[in-house]
């Protein structure tokens, strides 16, 4: 038994030396964190890979609170039952105090109400956008344990409406994906457009995986709008745009960030996308955001163009920094309480890379606070755990995706306030 | 240690809830031969009914009547029964695959209606449900244990009820209709009425499972009532053994254990680069289990026991001695 222990220790140390070089000497403990993400879905895999990437960065700096981090990844299969079971297993069997996930609000919500809140585990979602979380937090039922780095749909909807106003469109038809995200943003953008005096000729739900959207497109054509707004994913978006243009619809198009994909551009064709404007909440204006794009490109052989990647990265980084601040063997509530000192606007700015993580650890150890400058910008949570974020508009070009205009946090907030 | 127990209680609760739904399906398919392809519609009706009747009011949504829990649960079961009764009247004359297609359509329609009706939660689902006795029992392990006992009692009650039912003359009538409807009719029985009764009864049991499921998660959304759930419940019944209640329960625990344990094992033992594909591997593994079962033991783990009747059993015992 003793021999076994010693050799296991020796093996562990050897592995530590091999991969972490000089920092490894102090590394003998491992802290587990959980991740429940839809890895069986094509767009879910990169989100999980990005989270693991952030964990690797933390480990390169010597880990969190003196321990290496092991991310135990479980698949949700986008099935609430499976996701909740995975979360429960992570909390009970692996004893995690920090859970990353899920993507779909319909999975994140039951995990929150039946696993993480009862167990006092902190939950950080990269990608759930439903306004239901805000309401739950307002009722005080999240116990401050829930955070998300995905700005509520309000920001994008407002910027979408602003694009329509600036382009001088007088009437807009709205297509939205028929799920919680799409219904949310579709409803919000319609309200915002009306508030700006723009006519909303139709709001049309697009169900997944239909062979044709001719009926929906024809319905939208009836109102003869100046432009269309799309809160759709690339697959359905491609089909809707193809049918829309082939039936003689306008090429004036505004879209939410889910269409920010090379696949969409290639499948529709650049010649039809001249008047296309997209919106996004990411704000690559800080050095650390550029560094993220560069580092990501170097690591994954391509730029981070899928949905939720920058959010997943920031979610993991912030959570791990908070975990470090909370110290060894911290509970979920301890970690959640420390998030504010990571995203403190008056704190010392740190970048979202290895150097930034190491610097943040140093500052936090000294009792200071940091202002995390992440891949989605200068992240700040409100009292409900929601983020507001600066916004950008972007267009497709021959070379790929180009940013058009940058709206600072203040500009976004002022504009949103003017709508109400 | 407490973690393992806590997880096992959690697992057993979910498996028991699903067992109740599988028992409902067993009454319909195993005993009456009704191919219900829309289990989620009745499961969902029970879940939505319970949360709407027992939940707290939400802006812009129907419900929040805040009824006492047991009344809400009964209400949810009634909802499932009503849906089943209407569907049954329309489709009960359909046979086998036709009934399967029609009920599958009903389930898809149910999900679509829930997704698109804002007053019923829309795609965001219904939340804000206060789990009963939460104040007294707290929110942790004690609560889960108490809820498990509650679910277990209901599972045993359902099991005993169905065991009695299929041994009764009515149970024999169900099997007679399953085997040869014309013969049953020639004996003066009314197959369509009996089929409807069985369909509604089975659906009410599924509604009970749905109500318990929604209570346990304190949340229900259209994502909970996707066709995959129908498939899972069918797989549980087929593996366990259609026509045998014990098989239905065992099949549920086995398949749900395989589903969760394979995910856990893959996350623990699979190499890092395979981790991202564990979901897909899991689907393949479970597919193998079901196909293997169908190839080598199509009657299920616990095949149906063929007992003609109590008196016939006694008679054969007498003649043997």
A99's enclosing H/E stretch is strand A98-101
pLDDT of B65: 80
Do the chains contact at A73 and B143, CB–CB below 8 Å?
no
Instruction: Answer yes or no: do A158 and A274 share one domain.
Output: yes
Q: Kindly list the residues from chain B whose CB atom is less than 8 angstroms away from the CB atom of residue A93.
A: 3-4, 7, 264
What tokens does A414 get?
Answer: 């002022």
Instruction: Answer yes or no: do A325 and A296 share one domain.
Output: yes
What is the residue-averaged pLDDT of chain A?
Answer: 85
Instruction: Answer yes or no: do A316 and A384 share one domain.
Output: yes
Instruction: Answer yes or no: do A207 and A265 share one domain.
Output: yes
pLDDT of A14: 43
Separation in Å, CA of A199 to nearest CA in chain B: 23
Residues A137, A336 contacting (CB under 8 angstroms): no
* Residue B11 pLDDT greater than 50, yes or no: yes
Separation in Å, CA of A388 to nearest CA in chain B: 21
pLDDT of A1: 40
Residues B85, B200 contacting (CB under 8 angstroms): yes
Q: Average the pLDDT over A69-82 and give the result.
A: 89
Non-local (6+) Cβ contacts of B142 within 8 A are none
What tokens does B146 get?
Answer: 């108490």
Q: Kindly list the residues from chain A whose CB atom is less than 8 angstroms away from the CB atom of residue B127.
A: 109, 113, 132, 136
What is the ipTM score, two decimals? 0.84
Instruction: Answer yes or no: do A314 and A361 share one domain.
Output: yes
* Residue A283 pLDDT greater than 60, yes or no: no
Is A23 among the domain residues? no
Categorize the per-residue pLDDT at B262 as very low, low, confident or very high, splitting at 50, 70 and 90. Answer: confident
Is A327 among the domain residues? yes
Burial of B306 (0-12, 13-18, 19+ CB in 10 A): exposed
Instruction: Answer yes or no: do A375 and A310 share one domain.
Output: yes
> Which of A52, A85, A113 lies at the smallest CB-CB distance from B218?
A113
* Residue B99 pLDDT greater than 70, yes or no: yes
Percent of chain B at pLDDT > 70 equals 93
What is the residue-averaged pLDDT of chain B?
Answer: 87
Q: Kindly list the residues from chain A whose CB atom is less than 8 angstroms away from the CB atom of residue B275.
A: 39, 48, 73
Is A3 among the domain residues? no
pLDDT of A127: 86
Which of residues A31 and A152 earns the better pLDDT score?
A: A31
Is A21 among the domain residues? no
Is A65 among the domain residues? yes
Categorize the per-residue pLDDT at A419 as very low, low, confident or very high, splitting at 50, 70 and 90. Answer: confident
Q: Average the pLDDT over B107-129 and give the result.
A: 86
Q: Please tell me which residue of chain A has the smallest CA distance to B215.
A: A114
The CATH number covering residue A140 comes to: 3.40.50.2300
Which of residues B199 and A39 earns the better pLDDT score?
A: B199
Instruction: Answer yes or no: do A39 and A136 share one domain.
Output: yes
> pLDDT for A84-119, tens place per residue?
999 999 999 999 999 998 888 889 999 998 899 989
Q: Average the pLDDT over B62-90 and give the result.
A: 90
Percent of chain A at pLDDT > 70 equals 92
pLDDT of A12: 43
Which of residues B134 and B146 earns the better pLDDT score?
A: B146
Categorize the per-residue pLDDT at B317 as very low, low, confident or very high, splitting at 50, 70 and 90. Answer: low
Domain total for chain A?
Answer: 2
Q: Average the pLDDT over B236-251 and give the result.
A: 92
> pLDDT for A337-389, tens place per residue?
999 899 888 889 888 888 889 999 999 998 889 988 888 777 788 888 888 77
DSSP single-letter state for residue A351: E
Interface with B, mutate which of A84, A106, A137 (most B CBs under 10 A): A106
pLDDT of A6: 46
Is A16 among the domain residues? no
Do the chains contact at B139 and A139, CB–CB below 8 Å?
no
> pLDDT for A201-241, tens place per residue?
999 999 888 888 999 999 999 988 999 999 998 888 999 99
> How far does Cα A201 stand from its chain's mean position?
31
Do the chains contact at B6 and A92, CB–CB below 8 Å?
yes
Q: Kindly list the residues from chain B whose CB atom is less than 8 angstroms away from the CB atom of residue A41.
A: 279
pLDDT of B314: 67
Instruction: Answer yes or no: do A296 and A161 share one domain.
Output: no
Instruction: Answer yes or no: do A251 and A161 share one domain.
Output: yes
Burial of A246 (0-12, 13-18, 19+ CB in 10 A): exposed
Which of residues A336 and B92 earns the better pLDDT score?
A: A336
Instruction: Answer yes or no: do A161 and A252 share one domain.
Output: yes
Q: Please tell me which residue of chain A has the smallest CA distance to B257.
A: A85
Domain that holds residue A235: 153-280+391-419
Instruction: Answer yes or no: do A54 and A146 share one domain.
Output: yes
Do the chains contact at B279 and A38, CB–CB below 8 Å?
yes
* Residue A24 pLDDT greater than 70, yes or no: no
Distance, CA of A304 to CA of A281 (rounded, Å)? 14
Q: Which of A106, A101, A82 is nearest to A34 (CA)?
A: A101
Quick check: B116 contacting A, CB < 8 Å?
yes
Non-local (6+) Cβ contacts of A166 within 8 A are none
Query: pTM for the full model?
Result: 0.80
Distance, CA of B43 to CA of B124 (rounded, Å)? 18
Burial of B139 (0-12, 13-18, 19+ CB in 10 A): middle
* Residue B316 pLDDT greater than 50, yes or no: yes
pLDDT of B173: 92
> pLDDT for A251-281, tens place per residue?
899 999 888 888 888 888 888 888 899 988 7
Percent of chain B at pLDDT > 90 equals 48
* Residue B182 pLDDT greater than 50, yes or no: yes
Do the chains contact at A139 and B128, CB–CB below 8 Å?
yes
B 6-65 residues with CB < 8 A to A: 6-7, 10-11, 14
Do the chains contact at A92 and B280, CB–CB below 8 Å?
no
Instruction: Answer yes or no: do A164 and A236 share one domain.
Output: yes
β-pairing verdict for A98-101 and A68-75: unpaired
> Which of A74, A118, A132 lies at the smallest CB-CB distance from B124?
A132
* Residue A41 pLDDT greater than 90, yes or no: no
> Which of B4, B219, B260 lies at the smallest CB-CB distance from A110?
B219
* Residue A21 pLDDT greater than 50, yes or no: no
């Amino acid at each position: 038994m003793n021999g076994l222990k010693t050799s296991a220790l020796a093996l562990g140390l050897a592995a530590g030396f091999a991969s972490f070089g000089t920092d490894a000497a102090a590394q003998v403990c491992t802290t587990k964190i959980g991740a429940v993400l839809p890895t069986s879905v094509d767009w879910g895999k990169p989100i999980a890979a990005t989270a693991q990437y952030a964990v690797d960065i933390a480990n390169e700096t010597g880990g969190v609170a003196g321990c290496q981090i092991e991310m135990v990844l479980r698949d949700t299969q986008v099935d609430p039952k499976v996701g909740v079971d995975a979360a429960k297993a992570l909390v009970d069997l692996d004893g995690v105090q920090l859970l990353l996930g899920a993507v779909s609000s319909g999975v994140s919500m039951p995990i929150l109400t039946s696993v993480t809140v009862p167990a006092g585990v902190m939950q950080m979602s990269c990608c759930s956008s439903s306004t239901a979380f805000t309401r739950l937090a307002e009722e005080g039922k999240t116990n401050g344990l829930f955070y998300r780095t995905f700005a509520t749909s309000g920001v994008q909807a407002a910027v979408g409406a602003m694009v329509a106003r600036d382009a001088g469109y007088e009437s807009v038809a709205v297509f939205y994906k028929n799920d919680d995200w799409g219904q949310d943003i579709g409803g919000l953008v319609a309200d915002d457009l009306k508030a700006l005096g723009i006519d909303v000729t139709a709001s049309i739900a697009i169900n997944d995986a239909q062979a044709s959207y001719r009926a929906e497109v024809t319905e939208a054509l009836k109102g003869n709008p100046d432009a269309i707004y799309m809160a759709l994913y690339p697959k359905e978006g491609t089909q809707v745009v193809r049918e829309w243009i082939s039936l003689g619809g306008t090429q004036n198009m505004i879209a939410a960030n889910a269409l920010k994909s090379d696949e969409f551009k290639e499948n529709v064709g650049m010649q039809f996308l001249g008047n296309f404007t997209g919106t996004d909440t990411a704000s690559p204006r800080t050095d650390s955001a550029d560094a993220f794009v560069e580092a990501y490109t170097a690591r994954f052989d391509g730029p981070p163009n899928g949905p939720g990647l920058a959010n997943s990265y920031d979610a993991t980084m912030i959570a791990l920094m908070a975990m470090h601040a909370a110290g060894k063997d911290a509970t979920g509530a301890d970690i959640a309480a420390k998030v504010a000192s990571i995203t403190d606007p008056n704190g010392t700015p740190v970048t979202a890379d290895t150097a930034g993580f190491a610097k943040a650890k140093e500052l936090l150890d000294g009792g200071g606070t940091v202002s995390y400058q992440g891949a989605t910008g200068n992240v700040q949570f409100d009292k409900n755990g929601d983020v507001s974020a600066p916004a950008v508009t972007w267009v497709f070009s021959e070379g790929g995706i180009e940013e058009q205009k940058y709206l600072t946090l203040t500009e976004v907030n002022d504009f949103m306030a003017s709508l109400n | 240690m407490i973690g393992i127990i806590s997880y096992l209680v959690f697992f057993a609760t979910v498996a028991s809830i699903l067992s109740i739904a599988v028992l409902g399906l067993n009454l319909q398919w195993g005993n009456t031969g009704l191919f219900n392809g829309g289990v989620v519609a009745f499961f969902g009706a029970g879940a939505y009914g319970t949360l709407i009747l027992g939940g707290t009011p939400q802006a812009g949504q129907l419900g929040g009547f805040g009824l006492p829990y047991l009344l809400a649960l009964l209400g949810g079961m009634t909802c499932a029964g009503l849906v089943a009764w209407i569907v049954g009247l329309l489709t009960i004359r359909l046979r086998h695959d036709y009934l399967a297609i029609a009920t599958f359509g009903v389930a898809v329609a149910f999900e679509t209606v829930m997704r698109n009706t804002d007053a019923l939660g829309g795609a965001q689902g219904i939340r804000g449900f206060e789990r009963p006795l939460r104040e007294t029992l707290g929110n942790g392990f004690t609560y889960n244990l108490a809820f498990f006992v509650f679910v277990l009692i209901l599972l045993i009650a359902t099991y005993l009820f169905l065991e009695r039912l299929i041994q009764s003359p009515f149970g024999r009538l169900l099997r007679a209709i399953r085997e040869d409807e014309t013969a049953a009719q020639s004996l003066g029985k009314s197959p369509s009425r009996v089929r409807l009764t069985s369909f509604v009864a089975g659906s009410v049991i599924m509604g009970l499972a749905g109500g318990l499921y929604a209570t346990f998660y304190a949340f229900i959304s259209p994502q909970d009532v996707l066709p995959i759930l129908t498939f899972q419940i069918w797989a549980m019944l087929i593996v366990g053994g259609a026509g045998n209640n014990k098989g239905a329960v065992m099949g549920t625990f086995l398949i749900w254990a395989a589903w969760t344990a394979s995910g856990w094992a893959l996350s623990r033992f699979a190499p890092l680069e395979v981790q991202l594909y564990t979901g897909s591997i899991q689907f393949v593994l479970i597919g193998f289990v079901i196909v293997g079962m169908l190839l080598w033991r199509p009657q299920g783990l616990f095949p149906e026991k063929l007992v003609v009747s109590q008196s016939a059993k006694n008679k054969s015992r007498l003649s043997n001695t």
